[in-house]
Amino acid sequence: MQRPGSRPSVGAMSASGKKIVEKLSEDALTAATGRGWAEWFAELDAWGATDRGHREIAQHLVNAHGVSGWHAQSITVGYEQERGMREVGQSSQGDWQVSASKTVSAPPNRVIDAFVREDLRRRWLPDGDLAVRTHRPGKSLTADWDGGTSRISVYLTPMGHTKTQVGLGHTKLPDADAVAAYKTFWRERLTDLKTLLESSG
């Protein structure tokens, strides 16, 4: 798949992904928090959450109901999506973003080199217009994408001595169609990165 343009085809990529209520099951949420989606939505409606911001809602869930930080964020995003306060792929600030991750059998320094070194990057990201802004060896990097119209962040989590989890975020996208396009794009590109690093030893 070639790099999506700044305005992807609407017809080809109309779906921007699943809502969080489809990704986090009712049973899993209930087991973790004691309530399911409908119960949390009713609680937040009664509290007046539609008139409050993302951070305030999440903090309320933590402070008033003892919900863990991750689940508080998930419930808040699910609520905002269900009540039309944000669309799938849209952040609480209103911009569009996508994330992808992949576990690679390679140490963090080798993984980050594949982003920083242009000769390596071209082998798995041939159509990428990526300009590195900040770089912490073996840990993270940020980069401008497509001439600075959007932004890439990469975070590496070591998993033992031989594996690394690569987390990539692509922010400041123009719309939901770009989210759909880049979700597929980055999934494919990180698969190519994994293949490159694992085949080259």
pLDDT at 11: 28
Q: With a threshold of 0.85, does the pTM exceed it?
A: no
Confidence of residue 8 (pLDDT cuts 50, 70, 90): very low
| CATH number, span 96-199 | 3.30.530.20
Q: Which of 27, 21, 88, 33 is nearest to 61 (CA)?
A: 33
pLDDT at 94: 57
Cα-Cα-Cα-Cα dihedral sign, residues 139, 159, 124, 187? negative
Higher pLDDT, 81 or 76: 76
Looking up tokens 């928090």, which residue turns up? 33
The residue-averaged pLDDT of 136-157 equals: 90
pLDDT at 92: 56
The domain limits of the chain are: 20-82, 96-199
Higher pLDDT, 8 or 58: 58
